[in-house]
Structure 1
């Protein structure tokens, strides 16, 4: 079995900006992301990193090229199959936690598992285990409004990993936190990635955090290049 969990080959994306004409955001992106690997994605705002993450995570489709997740080609799949694979194989984390405010931390992690057919008791056990792993087990019964920003983001990490995905995609996951909290939260994320062996692609402006990852990739004129 291949260790490559996410593979992009020749991925292209162009947007029609009306009066300004077409803007080619991705111009043939190639990427291979291995099991247990953390890769930083750095790029200026508007360079296309969010577009790249959305295509990699099956939230958007490329104009050309191929996306493979856990060895399966995503090209030409039905919407139903893409949705199922996205729920099972991909975890998303954003700059803002997007937790459901009316539910507790535990419930926020249980819900995606229930949607995937997991029994409630099993889902709750996994949720508690994940919360303990990132150091917020004592906050399991609290709603997001009763937690700090760092605690909320740790819960968001746990929710992203609830269904044991193969790939984690994160878009500025510490961008809304102060530097000290960002370091702590990144440490929790790194622990989850290393312990579970999933593949993680993390977009960040924080070059200090990027330097802690296995590789740093830069999006330059629509292509990925290795950064020093």
Structure 2
């Protein structure tokens, strides 16, 4: 039985800019992410890494090719199944934290669990567990505006993992932080991955961070190559 939790096979995606101008962003991408694996996705700006992450995360549909998440091929599936699979199996982190400003750190992690049908007490326990893993138990009742940039991003990691996904997709998760804070936040991410057993595909421009992951792939002229 395969250990793959995410598979992309021959995925293509193009966009039209005007009647005679087609931009081929992805030209047959193949990617396998195995259970417990942390993979760095390296690509210059405009190369299509966000497009790739959106397709992997079931937020966009490829023009051709297949996407399999947790053993389920979602090719041709409807929005309801895609949404359900996305909620159950996938977590997302972006360059900016996108925390809800009117809620505390703890509440920001509780809310997606409640939306997924988790009982209040169990959701609170899960949020407290995750905050402890990233060293933020003492900041649980603080709202985002009272947190530092690094703390905000660590809370965003916790929120992404609240519903126990199998796969974390991260788009430049430390790109908005200074080098010192970036290193601390990335260390917290690695601890979360190790502590929860999930897999992660992390887009980054930072070669030092990429080197700390299990494997590195580069998006080059619409295809993935191993580094």
TM-score, normalised relative to structure 2: 0.98
Query: CA separation in 1, counterparts of 2:26 and 2:196?
Result: 30
Match of 1:114 in 2: 114
RMSD between aligned alpha carbons?
A: 0.9
Count of residues in correspondence between the two structures: 227
| Deviation, structure 1 residue 199 | 1.1
Query: CA separation in 2, counterparts of 1:148 and 1:217?
Result: 31
Match of 2:9 in 1: 9
Matches within 5 A, 1:125-144: 125-144=125-144
| Deviation, structure 1 residue 213 | 0.4
Query: CA separation in 2, counterparts of 1:2 and 1:141?
Result: 42
- 3-state DSSP class of the match of 2:77? coil
Question: Does 2:186 align with 1:197?
Answer: no
Match of 2:53 in 1: 53
Match of 1:225 in 2: 225
Query: CA separation in 2, counterparts of 1:190 and 1:137?
Result: 18
Q: CA-to-partner distance for each residue in 1:1-32, whole Å, 9 max, x for gaps? A: 53111000000000001166000000000000
Q: Deviation above 4 Å: which 4+ runs of structure 1?
A: none
Query: CA separation in 2, counterparts of 1:51 and 1:194?
Result: 27
Match of 1:216 in 2: 216
Query: CA separation in 1, counterparts of 2:145 and 2:124?
Result: 21
Q: Which 5+ residue runs of structure 2 have no aligned equivalent?
A: none
- 3-state DSSP class of the match of 2:174? coil
- 3-state DSSP class of the match of 1:18? coil
